[in-house]
């Protein structure tokens, strides 16, 4: 048995290529996201890391936790750097200059590096159709600079730039930007596969990574990754909170295949959605919310579930 375990542990499928030696916070959701993405992708992989927590906290003092090639990109140009790497490999293989198998090219961008500051390069990469998987690890803020608001920050969340106060008692006053329809619902003709994923559902997440890498073109995975420091919860509750997001409808798990935005395939469908209050109460970033703010979030979640086509009982609208 020991020999069998040893031989299995050396197969590509089970080996970790995101290894110890980084300085992320205890309970960091994006670090676990990276580990699972790397494990699913395997050894023939190149990571591009635009500036974000998964660059800054992973690369202090010239150390890195990757057992595969990794390069930094600016927060603005992750899509451009990934495009160049993919095209260089494609042309060198085509011209017979190298005998390599085309690698998995994965750009691991935060919410800022993908859907805000980095949006133009990512959009251009999708539009041109390079064979790159973009994983947006979403911790709902600009975390590596001290938890500033990003378009992914949910309505009602406190950040350094959105403190609750007399003028805006709910803190963040807009609902979050959703990058999936921006990328998948038209305008990027080569982008055929998009999926939402969560570190609370690791097998589903890894399957979606492999599905995205199997595309003969670009693919996009939007990965919900709770951040204990930015969201103010104890580090041992990361997975519980990730799951609670799905159970309350604060996060939904689905896939879009063949570019068919109108027909989403849900990979996890709760039997019914729990009230959002159960999720909000786990995080101090929401502790200032009044009942009218919670009602607004519940209504938003209910409307989004209906718009996505989720046919499950919803908590009462308020």
Give me the residues that bind ligand SF4 (CB under 6 A), please: 24-25, 28, 30-31, 53, 57, 139, 143-144, 227-230
Kindly state the smallest distance separating residue 202's Cβ from ligand SF4, in Å.
Answer: 17
The window from 75-83, 141-149, 235-243, 307-315 that contacts Mg ion (CB under 5 A) reads 141-149
305: exposed, middle or buried (C-beta count within 10 Å: 0-12, 13-18, 19+)? middle
Across-strand partners of 106? 47, 133
Residues with Cβ within 8 Å of 222's Cβ and at least 6 positions away in sequence, in order, are: 136, 138, 179, 180, 194, 195, 196, 197
Helix, strand, coil shares, percent, the chain, to 5? 40, 15, 45
CA distances to 30, 206, 227 from 203, rounded to whole Å, are 16, 5, 20
- Evaluate whether 176 touches 151 at the Cβ level (below 8 Å): yes
User: Can residue 110 be called a binding residue for Mg ion (CB under 5 A)?
Assistant: yes
Out of ligand SF4, Mg ion, none, which partner does residue 85 contact, by CB within 5 to 8 A per kind? none
Residue 42 vs 228, nearer CB to ligand SF4: 228
Binding of Mg ion by 118 (CB under 5 A): no
**Nearest approach, Cβ of residue 145 and ligand SF4 (Å):** 10
> Do residues 50 and 28 make contact, with C-beta atoms less than 8 angstroms apart?
no
Largest CA distance in the chain: 66
Comparing CB distances to Mg ion, the nearer of 86 and 119 is 119
Residue 57 contacts which entry, ligand SF4, Mg ion, none (Cβ below 5-8 A, type-dependent) = ligand SF4
CB of 141 to ligand SF4, least distance (A): 8
Give the shortest CB-53-to-ligand SF4 separation in angstroms.
3
> Sign of torsion, CA 282 29 77 180?
negative
Closer residue to ligand SF4, CB minimum distance, 79 or 228: 228
Inter-CA distances, 292 with 37, 156, 179, 248, 288, Å: 38, 11, 27, 18, 12
Site string for Mg ion, 61-100 (x = CB under 5 A): ----------------------------------------
Q: Which does 28 bind (CB under 5 to 8 A by kind): Mg ion, ligand SF4, none?
A: ligand SF4
111 touches which of ligand SF4, Mg ion, none (CB within 5 to 8 A by kind)?
A: Mg ion
Query: Can you give the binding site for Mg ion, defined by CB under 5 A?
Result: 110-111, 139, 143
């Amino acid at each position: 048995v020991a020999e069998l375990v040893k031989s299995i542990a050396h197969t590509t499928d089970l080996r970790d290529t995101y290894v110890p030696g980084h300085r992320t916070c205890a309970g960091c959701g994006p670090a676990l996201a990276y580990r699972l993405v790397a494990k699913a992708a395997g050894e023939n992989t190149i990571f591009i890391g635009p500036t974000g927590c998964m660059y800054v906290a992973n690369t202090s003092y010239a150390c890195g936790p990757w057992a595969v090639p990794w390069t930094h990109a600016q927060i603005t140009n992750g899509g451009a750097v990934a495009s160049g790497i993919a095209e260089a490999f494609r042309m060198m293989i085509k011209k017979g200059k190298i005998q390599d198998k085309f690698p998995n090219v994965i750009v691991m961008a935060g919410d800022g590096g993908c859907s805000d500051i980095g949006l133009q390069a990512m959009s251009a990469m999708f539009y041109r159709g390079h064979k790159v998987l973009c994983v947006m690890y979403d911790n709902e803020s600009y975390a590596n600079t001290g938890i500033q608001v990003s378009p992914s920050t949910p309505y009602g969340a406190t950040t350094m730039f959105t403190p609750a106060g007399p003028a805006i008692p709910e803190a963040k006053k807009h609902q979050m930007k959703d990058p999936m329809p921006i990328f998948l619902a038209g305008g990027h003709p080569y982008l055929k596969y998009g999926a939402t994923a969560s570190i609370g559902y690791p097998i589903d997440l890894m399957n979606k990574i492999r599905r995205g890498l199997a595309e003969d073109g670009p693919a996009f995975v939007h990965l919900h990754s709770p951040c204990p420091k930015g969201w103010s919860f104890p580090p041992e509750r990361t997975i519980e909170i990730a799951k609670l997001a799905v159970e309350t409808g604060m996060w939904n798990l689905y896939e879009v295949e063949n570019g068919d935005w109108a027909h989403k395939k849900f990979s996890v469908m709760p039997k019914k959605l729990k009230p959002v209050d159960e999720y909000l109460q786990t995080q101090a970033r929401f502790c200032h919310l009044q009942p009218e703010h919670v009602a607004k979030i519940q209504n938003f979640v209910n409307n989004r579930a209906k718009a996505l086509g989720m046919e499950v009982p919803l908590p009462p609208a308020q």
